Amino acid sequence: MYSEEQFDYGNNMEVEEEGQEISQGDQTNSWVVIGSFFEEKGLVRQQLDSFNQFIANTLQDLVSHRTIELRVQDQFKPGVDRNEEDLNRQPFYRIKFPQTSIALPRHTEAEGDPDDLYPKGARLRGLTYQCVLYVDIEKTTATIGEFGEEIIEESTMLERIPICKIPIMVRSKACRLNDVQGKDVADFGECEYDEGGYFIVNGNEKVLIAQERMSNNHVFVFAGSKSGGKYSHVAELRSSKESTIGFKPTATLMIKLLPPGTKKGSECIRAQLPLVREDIPIGIMFRALGLTTDKDIIQHICYDLRDVRMLEMLRPSIEESFPVQTREVAEIYIANRGVSGVGVGKDDRIQYAKVLLQNHLLPHMV
């Protein structure tokens, strides 16, 4: 598409081999690449791709991972004791949603007749450009047998049950204009330069503002001024279970390295745990996780115990954690610095620390 003069690969390679700096003019080649990208993809491709991913995969994942169990209330009188055998005889229902599907946008007229809906019609008539979401419902009736086994009495499948309506992004794969290209969109009252990427709600065009954020479940390491200034290096991990994204907040774990001279001329590694006010020495965090000896801690950090340089770097962190030697004391140490939920008793604090580490420390690894 572009000539060799524009990119001049050979000249750039010769300059790098000679150890010279690339001239400022060579950076204009990057704008050629950027221009080519937007010429092919457009300005709203990230919006369209995100919505297409939601319709094709995310929506199915959100529904199919949910199982509902309903138990029929027994007919005993209030206040009467009920034994386990009586409760097991009561049937229960399990409901699953194995499949989802959508239809192209339609609108039901006042007379009750459905009609195809296009973006132009939604704008002019003050309608929402939306489609119906259908789900297959699998209903199972079962009881608990004499030996605790599950006995299925009946299983039925209800197909394509409408449960709600979803606004459709204009020019997405679920839009009626998805396969219409170029000037042909004028036949449907649209502008050929309209790339879509927005919704139509009650006749008004609505757009979602894209937000850039760090990806989950990946480690990012920042050095120098990017680490906040107080630390020489900071490793940050936003942890979140894939199946719970959008329902539970992410838990952020940060591992911080103090610069030389901060702690008696040495470097110490500390962890910033979710729901904990103060940074925790790395050795105390490992002891709270059940690694109580220095050797166990070092083996989980250092891959090669013959790496003397790495062992010397870990020495200040191990020495800083020396006053705390047992798991119980480490859990109390963390609980005392928790932001909420700490009981006054010893057992309450230990339980609080266990729950914190179990639910908020790297939940995507559980």
pLDDT tens-digit readout, 123-164: 999 999 999 999 999 999 988 877 778 888 889 999 999 999
pTM more than 0.75: no
Looking at residue 14, its amino acid is E
Q: Do residue 10 and residue 131 come from a single domain?
A: no
Assigned domain for 352 exists: yes
Distance between CA 336 and CA 316 in Å, rounded?
A: 23
pLDDT of residue 230: 77
Distance between CA 324 and CA 292 in Å, rounded?
A: 9
Assigned domain for 77 exists: yes
Mean pLDDT of the chain: 81
Assigned domain for 81 exists: yes
- CA neighbor of 164 nearest in space, from 133, 202, 200: 133
Q: What is the domain count for the chain?
A: 3
Q: Do residue 273 and residue 360 come from a single domain?
A: yes
Q: How confident is the model at residue 289 (pLDDT cuts 50, 70, 90)?
A: very high
Assigned domain for 232 exists: yes
Q: Do residue 26 and residue 101 come from a single domain?
A: no
pLDDT of residue 246: 47
Q: Do residue 14 and residue 103 come from a single domain?
A: no
pLDDT of residue 143: 83
Q: Do residue 130 and residue 249 come from a single domain?
A: no
Instruction: Identify which has the larger pLDDT, 314 or 18.
Output: 314
Q: Do residue 95 and residue 174 come from a single domain?
A: yes
Q: Do residue 189 and residue 228 come from a single domain?
A: no
pLDDT of residue 330: 92
Question: How many residues are given for the chain?
Answer: 366
> Picking from 222-236, 283-297, 311-325, 350-364, which range would have the lowest pLDDT averaged per residue?
222-236
Q: List the Cα angle 93/97/102 in 5-degree steps.
A: 145
Distance between CA 320 and CA 122 in Å, rounded?
A: 66
Q: Do residue 246 and residue 329 come from a single domain?
A: yes
Q: What percent of the chain has pLDDT over 70?
A: 80
- CA neighbor of 45 nearest in space, from 291, 210, 179, 226: 210
DSSP state of 232: S
pLDDT of residue 247: 53
pLDDT of residue 53: 94
pLDDT of residue 104: 94
Q: Please tell me whether residue 207 adopts helix, strand or coil conformation.
A: coil
Q: Of 152, 171, 206, which marks where a domain is finished? A: 206
Tell me if 253 sits within 8 A of 240, measured CB to CB: no
Q: Given a cut of 50, is residue 354 above it in pLDDT?
A: yes
Q: Do residue 147 and residue 282 come from a single domain?
A: no
Give the CATH number of the domain where residue 303 resides: 3.90.1110.10
Tokens 């419902």 belong to residue: 137
Assigned domain for 255 exists: yes
Q: Assign 3-class secondary structure to 20-42.
A: CCCCHHHHHHHHHHHHHHHHHHC
Instruction: Identify which has the larger pLDDT, 5 or 276.
Output: 276
Assigned domain for 223 exists: yes
pLDDT tens per residue across span 178-221? 989 888 999 999 998 899 999 999 999 999 887 777 788 889 99
Q: Do residue 87 and residue 172 come from a single domain?
A: yes
Assigned domain for 213 exists: no
pLDDT tens per residue across span 55-80? 999 999 888 878 888 876 554 445 54
Q: Of 185, 206, 227, which marks where a domain is finished? A: 206
In the chain, count H helices and then E strands.
12, 13
How would you class 218 by CB atoms within 10 Å of its CB: exposed for 0-12, middle for 13-18, buried for 19 or more? exposed
pLDDT of residue 41: 82
pLDDT of residue 26: 58
Distance between CA 54 and CA 76 in Å, rounded?
A: 46
* Residue ranges making up the domain that contains 344: 219-365
Q: Do residue 293 and residue 350 come from a single domain?
A: yes
Q: Given a cut of 70, is residue 229 above it in pLDDT?
A: no
pLDDT of residue 205: 96
Q: Do residue 57 and residue 190 come from a single domain?
A: yes
Assigned domain for 212 exists: no
Q: Of 147, 173, 206, which marks where a domain is finished? A: 206
pLDDT of residue 138: 93
pLDDT tens per residue across span 21-44? 434 455 677 888 888 888 888 888
